[in-house]
Amino acid sequence: MTNKKRNINASFLLHGGDYNPDQWLKYPDVLKEDIQLMLAANTNTFSVGIFAWSALEPEEGVYTFEWLDKVFDDIHAFGGKVILATPSGARPAWLSQKYPDVLRVNAARVKQLHGGRHNHCFTSPAYLEKTQNMNRKLAERYGGHPALLLWHISNEYSGDCHCDRCQTAFREWLKERYDGSLDTLNDAWWGPFWSHTFTDWEQVESPSPNGEDGVHGLRLDWRRFVTDQTVRFMENEMVPIRELTPDIPVTTNFMADTPDLIPFRGLDYQRFAEKIDVISWDAYPTWHNDWETTAELAMKVGFIDDLYRTMKDQPFLLMENTPSMVNWHPVNKAKRPGMHILSSMQMIAHGSDSILYFQWRKSRGSTEKFHGAVVDHDRSPDNRVFREVAALGANMEKLAGLAGAHRTAEVALLYDWENDWALEDAQGYGLESKQYIKTMHAHYRPFWKRDIPVDVIGKTHDFQKYKLLVVPMLYMMENKTAEKLEKFVQAGGRLVMTYISGVADEHDLVHPGAWQEKLANIFGLCPAETDTLYPADRNSVQYKGKQYELKDYATVLELHGAKAIGSYEKDFYAGTPAVTEHDYGEGSAYYIGGRLEDAFQEEFYEELLIKEQIVAPVRIKKEEGVSIQARFHAHTTYVFIMNFSESEKAIELDQTYQDVLQGGFLEGLYLLKPYEAKVLQF
């Protein structure tokens, strides 16, 4: 695997999406119509082959690439580009029939039947061989095609397999991790507890509802292994691709978990980011739902954008989204007029260089026949959805100059997949109230509302480039992370940390003394106990003359140098410190001991921003519900002003801007219509 830096060097924004002509090979009129409609929709880029294995290799060793040749040529003919997917996301039935080891065994040790998708054993020698072979054929045939823009490796990797081969692979992985020493493994997993000491590697089994499901070290290592095994599978897929098309960049599409739009928790995507050239993801927010405001959901989208964008610190791709609705939400409500353009503009504002759809055309049958598409069952360009897509396409052409523009942030928020897993597994606190991601949102929201750019970083990222670093609930914190935090503060950074941080090391073993040693120095305090509250319990914190409601968690603190700047108001620790500040080296460290209402975070971060003179990239006054984001190119700043509300919102411009989409110039007061998005430039 080379370390060559590859990226898409498109001078335009990609517009198009998943195209499945393989479903329509018996409908030649449809295939013909597709090309015409692609032009009508102002699209330029299509992902093909994602689930086409049966159409590409209907029998083992018999290849039928002709239809795909034509797709490449047809798209190329009108100047379009192709993102070529490896078809490993779904197997042909003949493959499962002939090589049953490709089928997964689930955690209950039940061998699966053929069916569905995304359900392969990633250790299967047959699948490793067959996928690599297929990818080689594709690379050989299309690697040199001028329309080829990007490789799309498989689709939405996920899941795990517990077959005997995977058990063996897991044991090998453990041997490597623990230097071949079962004794080391037993120490790391706190083996003697319940006599869980292993004396033979063969005794180790993956977690199972039928067997061991409570040893935290085992569960954590299994999840790490699953990530590693999936990455290894992806790398295997990439071998012929890197060999035959060394200049074509590679992506794999990431996901988000629904319905609460949070990063996909099944795999540590930071590990994937190291291996691929371009980050891409599939975004399916439940716009217009009945449980949150549009702005709140937009904030959640922004959070994931900022996480995935920060991974490689470069523009990402929106690989899938719907122009209208999906078919798998509990309620599949259509995007209202304006929402598609608004939500697309947000993606671009946060760093996407594309708006790509799942799916180009609705199928007639099977699971996804009602998933929104550019082309509906009516096959017509003359409907609301198609028209909005075409209008967006026209806008994107006006924004072509934006391709590759970057974002920059002085604030970082640390999110860690392994911590998410360990915290979820932790038997303790409130089993349902830990809510790591909701806590991330609580600490991202104040910045988003103020249009302050945030990088959502991982623990291996460089901390030093930021002025302010926020670390909520980093329960599992290895010593080197604490060391990085110390250096960050010593060098002048502002660090904010919350309750339930620094408890366990990378093996999920509680740090001796119950708290990371370095943290005591940095924060000038020691947590004495973490009070866990019932859902109906409430406490409050007095902070700078105001009272803020507290629920779920309250850490009782012993100060050793820190200054209390907020204190609890009730219960046996009433009057004791709840929020503290501590000067350390050139910087300072803040500890928030309790789970406080949003108003606290609003106030708290407002002060920090003023202190650090961290400001939004542009000084436009706005009403609540409006988000303003910027991207930068050499001498140009693109400003996205987006009304995430159902009512008109006023903005007051600080200077004269060029209106990129409508043309002309804009200054002074402007009234945004509901869902209106403006793109300005200066």
Catalytic option among 320, 388, 478, 486: 320
Q: Any contact of residue 66 with a copy of itself (CB under 8 A)?
A: no
- Cα–Cα distance, 468 to 662 (Å, whole number): 37
Please, are residues 183 and 381 in contact by the beta-carbon 8 Å criterion? Answer: no
Least distance in angstroms from the C-beta of 634 to a copy of itself:
40
- Cα–Cα distance, 423 to 504 (Å, whole number): 10
Q: Any contact of residue 87 with a copy of itself (CB under 8 A)?
A: yes
* Stretch of residues binding a copy of itself (CB under 8 A), selected from 94-102, 250-258, 271-279, 663-671: 94-102
Question: In this chain, which of 126, 244, 514, 559 binds a copy of itself, going by CB under 8 A?
Answer: 514
- Cα–Cα distance, 337 to 673 (Å, whole number): 12
| Residue 155 is labelled as binding a ligand | yes
The answer to whether the Cα torsion of 575, 577, 579, 583 is positive or negative is positive
Q: Any contact of residue 509 with a copy of itself (CB under 8 A)?
A: yes
Question: In this chain, which of 366, 613, 634, 635 binds a copy of itself, going by CB under 8 A?
Answer: 366
* Stretch of residues binding a copy of itself (CB under 8 A), selected from 84-92, 245-253, 260-268, 388-396: 84-92
Q: Maximum Cα–Cα distance for the chain, whole Å? A: 77
| Placement of tokens 């498989």 in the chain | 154
Nearer to a copy of itself, 215 or 278 (CB): 215
Question: In this chain, which of 305, 420, 508, 676 binds a copy of itself, going by CB under 8 A?
Answer: 508
436 to 475, contacts with a copy of itself by CB under 8 A? none
| Residue 163 is labelled as binding a ligand | yes
- Cα–Cα distance, 53 to 50 (Å, whole number): 8
Q: Is 320 a catalytic residue?
A: yes
Give every CB contact of residue 56 below 8 A, 6+ residues apart in sequence: 22, 49, 63, 64, 65, 68, 87, 134, 137, 138
Question: In this chain, which of 5, 61, 545, 572 binds a copy of itself, going by CB under 8 A?
Answer: 572
Catalytic option among 156, 237, 478, 676: 156
Q: Is 478 a catalytic residue?
A: no
Q: Any contact of residue 574 with a copy of itself (CB under 8 A)?
A: no
Question: In this chain, which of 217, 285, 446, 502 binds a copy of itself, going by CB under 8 A?
Answer: 217
Q: Any contact of residue 507 with a copy of itself (CB under 8 A)?
A: yes
Question: In this chain, which of 36, 181, 327, 479 binds a copy of itself, going by CB under 8 A?
Answer: 327
Q: Any contact of residue 571 with a copy of itself (CB under 8 A)?
A: yes
Q: Which stretches does DSSP call E strand in 20-117?
A: 45-48, 81-85
370 to 399, contacts with a copy of itself by CB under 8 A? 370-371, 376-379, 383-385
Token pair listed for 628: 């303003």
* Stretch of residues binding a copy of itself (CB under 8 A), selected from 208-216, 490-498, 602-610, 634-642: 208-216
* Stretch of residues binding a copy of itself (CB under 8 A), selected from 6-14, 143-151, 189-197, 408-416: 189-197
Query: Bridge partners of 642?
Result: 627, 677
Please, are residues 300 and 441 in contact by the beta-carbon 8 Å criterion? Answer: yes
Q: Which stretches does DSSP call E strand in 97-147?
A: none
Question: In this chain, which of 61, 365, 545, 663 binds a copy of itself, going by CB under 8 A?
Answer: 365
Give every CB contact of residue 577 below 8 A, 6+ residues apart in sequence: 525, 557, 559, 562, 564, 566, 567, 568, 593
Q: Any contact of residue 211 with a copy of itself (CB under 8 A)?
A: yes
SS3 call for 33: helix
Q: Any contact of residue 258 with a copy of itself (CB under 8 A)?
A: no
- Cα–Cα distance, 149 to 142 (Å, whole number): 11
Question: In this chain, which of 34, 353, 531, 676 binds a copy of itself, going by CB under 8 A?
Answer: 531
Q: Any contact of residue 54 with a copy of itself (CB under 8 A)?
A: yes
* Stretch of residues binding a copy of itself (CB under 8 A), selected from 257-265, 303-311, 369-377, 462-470: 369-377
The DSSP result for 396-418, as a single string, is HHHTGGGTT-B---SEEEE--HH
Nearer to a copy of itself, 398 or 570 (CB): 570
The pair phi, psi for residue 580, each rounded to 5°, is -135, 160
Please, are residues 662 and 671 in contact by the beta-carbon 8 Å criterion? Answer: no
Classify residue 667 by its DSSP letter: -
- Cα–Cα distance, 303 to 368 (Å, whole number): 28
Please, are residues 188 and 507 in contact by the beta-carbon 8 Å criterion? Answer: yes
Least distance in angstroms from the C-beta of 377 to a copy of itself:
3
Please give the radius of gyration of the chain, using alpha carbons only, rounded to the nearest integer. Answer: 26
| Residue 166 is labelled as binding a ligand | yes
Q: Any contact of residue 259 with a copy of itself (CB under 8 A)?
A: no
Q: Any contact of residue 289 with a copy of itself (CB under 8 A)?
A: yes
Residues flagged as binding site for Zn(2+) = 121, 161, 163, 166
What amino acid positions are annotated as catalytic residues?
156, 320
Residues flagged as binding site for substrate = 117, 155, 328
